[in-house]
Amino acid sequence: MERRKRRESISNSNLLFLISLVIFVAMYTVGFFRFPTSFRNLQTFVDFFNNNAPLIILTCGMSVVMIGGGIDISVGGVTGLVTMCCAVFLNGRAGSVAGSIFLALGIGLAFGALQGFLVSYLHIQPFIITLAGMFLANGLLTVIHKDPINAALPAFLKLREADIKIQWLGTVNRLGNFIPLRISYCMIIALVVVTVIAVLMKWSRFGRNLYATGGNSQSALMLGINVKRTKFFSYVLCGLLSGVAGYVFIMQTGAGNVGNASGFEMKAIASSIIGGTLLTGGVGNMIGSPIGALSLLVINEIIRSAGINSNYQAIISGLLLCVFIVLQSLVVWIRGKGSPTLPPWLQFKRDSR
Amino acid sequence: MPNDIVLEMRGICKAFPGVRALQDVDFTLRRGEIHALMGENGAGKSTLIKTLTGVYQKDSGQIDIEGRRTAFRSPHEAQANGVGTVYQEIMLCPNLSVAENMFIGREKGVFVSWREMNRRAGIILDGLSIPARPTQQLRSCSLAVQQMIAIARAVDMQCKILILDEPTSSLDEDEVQKLFALMRELKERGVGIIFVTHFLDQVYQVSDRITVLRNGELVGEYEAEKLPQVELVSKMMGKELGDVEKLKNLKEAAEDGGTPVFEAESLSSAAGVRPYDFHIQKGEVNGFTGLLGSGRSESVRAIFAADKVTGGNVRINGKRIRIRKPKDAMKRGIGYLPEDRKGDGLIADLSVRENIVLALQTMHGFFRPFSLKKARAFADEYIALLNIKTPSSDTPVHSLSGGNQQKVILARWLLIHPEYLILDEPTRGIDVGTKVEIQRLVLKLASEGVSVTFISSEIEEMLRTCSRLIVMRDRNIVGELSGEDMTQSKIMHTIAGEVTQNA
């Protein structure tokens, strides 16, 4: 059979992913040349992962739900709740590392399953339900313990300290001492999560069904997909990842605190969107999500390095998000069903067969 | 040969609250035939299809597929048993690739093998010569190709019966031909195809057999070759050709000449109206006629800009103007009584008075409300004039009868003293007495110099009130009749699109 060698028109998911990748690389390049002391340092790059693993994990969960056409704003609250519960548990008489891991995942799963059930099977607005979930999680967090509490279990402290030093990739600091590259367990967990979720969304039946559901749930139903179950599991997965993120959070900070991970749900949404996930569902790339999160962090880092008042970080992040949303809707609008009002130079080449 | 029959539906009945959608309908489909299911909107075509595919459960009757009694509980189950359906709105996911759309929802196992899926999709697409690549995004395909992909999916699921529900309504002529080629190909393979449509020309291009429904009842099953187009129309409308009543035309033809009150030149709208020309004189009553779904409502909606106008020029009293939204039309003295009384017309929870004053209030500006006294005076005047039966002008409008509700909307438009009034099915679903009242009112308005466009499904009514009829078929104007030419048989011949002989 003769192979047609025409280039495929790129899918929206991949196009938006490319855009976010370009933005990320551009941002990093700016940092690289403008602030060489920090950005030229490999450790800085790795630290983006080391220090922001919870956000990256949450962004993955958020993207999954958003691809399915939903939203979950309880993730920040659940993450915070998990840190506090784990801290209390680890300091308790029965405290153990394995137990705390189960506790973290259990809390995440419970929230995900409950919210998923309400959203998918009882058809309640996901925004409202997860808002309620967020309040619930925040409330529980303060009820369990009001003050910051340090997890002091020795086994846990050992886990916290554990990291991997790569001797052949280190950097030489200003004093001329060689410091090996440090990779924390948090980063590894984050990378594993990203990989697993990316594979799941690309190659599993669940992932493809979720894309279909988010794209057009009515069609998905007619195509024989169990839409309710698919949506349900997207929330369960997101909840589970909130649990993971919570545990990673406490591995970093070592403490349960009322303010832990507050506002992370919004950061996760922002990162997902910058990473190329559409709020309308059905479009998104799972590699884009962590890149979206990193873009946000790199911008903040640049602003910090430039010595600008940290208040501007929020403003600039906000503006960036704005630009992204406009860019995305523009792209989708342009590539949507033929828009004759657009000048030809703005129109993407469409398949005209 | 009885062996040839793949589907046999006998005595199907289905009722919805207040409506008997299907009454004792029979339908037979043979292997390798294209069987058109025809009827006006609301004739029961869709209901019949949905009882077959398990969207609805039939009240009584039996369905045999290849001799086996069946009763599907869901479209999914029907699909699994060889009944594939392709709907008017394409039920695929535009954000997925072509191959995915063909296989999603029917793979087994946890993981998806892209290579295998693309390979199999390629074979199917090539086999049916569908111009699409498996890895292509569905959204980048034309509507016709998407339609074909939906069909390919159904075919790959080993369907014995393929239902195409209005598949051509959003396709252009070229694409329709491609679709027909595919349908013929499938016919060769022995698939029984049910082709639901109201496009008359297309039926004759592909169908072997035609079943006609009307008002939920079976009119008959015919071989396409033996049923002339005009007879098909008369069967769909339920009018015998020979039965040409002489109806007295109450309205004298309006004197020609002078500038028309309203003139449109290649007007078109986003609702799918092909560009058309139209004009109406002062004091004239004209009508749009055609089968339900032929585009008559859409045409008048374009005049009022109720749908987005996409092209054309409009002149009022010879002056060129632009009407971009209904309010523009209202300002120029155009009133429009919509077909869908409940959806587009009334605000059910507001009182009769508020509903009547609404249009005038819009033109007056919402920030300069009428005093209660004034509004009440307006309302009472028109309640008396139109003889609206309501306890008071404060009664919520939803508690009125259909005929009186219609009069309320009519009052709303009369209150702005329009020069040109468009009435879309003003007499549907209302009692005979009120019907006659409305017809009289239309003629009275015309004699006072108001131009009226009147649409009705009842040809008698149109003949009684209109002095000129514009005939539509498949969203095009196909003829204009006036004076002596306005007879039932002429109208039907024009709708059918045959050369009009003397009837």
What's the sign of the alpha-carbon dihedral B107, B112, B116, B120?
Answer: positive
Give pLDDT tens digits for B313-342. 888 888 888 888 888 888 888 888 888 777
Place of tokens 């809390």: A107
Closest CA–CA distance from residue A114 to any residue of chain B (Å): 24
Nearest to B36 by CA among B204, B170, B179: B204
Place of tokens 């009440």: B376
DSSP symbol at B396: B
Q: Beta strands of A185-324 (E only): which ranges?
A: 255-256
> What ipTM was assigned to the predicted interfaces of this complex?
0.80
Is the pLDDT reported for residue B238 higher than 80? Answer: no
B272 touches chain A (CB under 8 A): no
SS3 B390: coil
pTM above 0.80, yes or no: no
Give pLDDT tens digits for A237-287. 999 999 999 999 999 888 888 888 888 999 999 899 888 888 888 888 899
Is the pLDDT reported for residue B231 higher than 90? Answer: no
Of A6, A212, A351, the CB nearest to B93: A212
Q: How far apart are CA A237 and CA A229, in angstroms?
A: 12
B331 touches chain A (CB under 8 A): no
- What residues of A are in contact with residue B141 (Cβ under 8 Å)? 351, 353
**Average pLDDT, stretch B451-459?**
84
- What residues of B are in contact with residue A351 (Cβ under 8 Å)? 136, 140-141
- Judged by CB atoms closer than 8 Å, whether chains meet at A350 and B100 is answered as no
**Is B282 within 8 Å of B258 (Cβ atoms)?**
yes
Q: What is the mean pLDDT of chain A?
A: 84
Residue B44 φ/ψ, nearest 5 degrees: 110, 10
Q: How far apart are CA B408 and CA B478, in angstroms?
A: 34
Nearest to B166 by CA among B187, B147, B184: B147
pLDDT band at residue A9, thresholds of 50, 70 and 90? low
- Burial (CB < 10 A; 0-12, 13-18, 19+), residue A120, is buried
Those residues whose C-beta lies under 8 Å from the C-beta of residue B372, and which sit 6 or more positions away, are: none
A27: tokens are 């941002």
Q: How far apart are CA A100 and CA A37, in angstroms?
A: 39
Q: How far apart are CA A78 and CA A242, in angstroms?
A: 6
- A-interface mutation test, from B95, B125, B308, most A Cβ less than 10 A away: B95
Give pLDDT tens digits for B400-428. 877 788 888 888 888 888 889 898 888 87
Q: How far apart are CA B327 and CA B321, in angstroms?
A: 13
Interior CA angle at B389 toward B387 and B395, to 5°? 125
Is the pLDDT reported for residue B249 higher than 50? Answer: no
- A-interface mutation test, from B72, B110, B139, B146, most A Cβ less than 10 A away: B139
Residue B3: its pLDDT value, please?
63
Residue A92: its pLDDT value, please?
86
**Average pLDDT, stretch A47-68?**
93
A201: tokens are 């969304």
Residue A225: its pLDDT value, please?
87
Of A8, A206, A207, the CB nearest to B136: A8
DSSP symbol at B290: S
Separation of first and last alpha carbons in chain B: 40
Please report the DSSP string for A291-307 in residue order.
HHHHHHHHHHHHHHHTT
Give pLDDT tens digits for A288-313. 999 999 988 888 888 888 887 777 77
Count Cα neighbours of B327 within 13 Å in the Cβ-side half-sphere. Answer: 7
Report the range out of A62-76, A212-226, B287-301, B334-348 with the highest average pLDDT: A62-76
B375: tokens are 């509004």
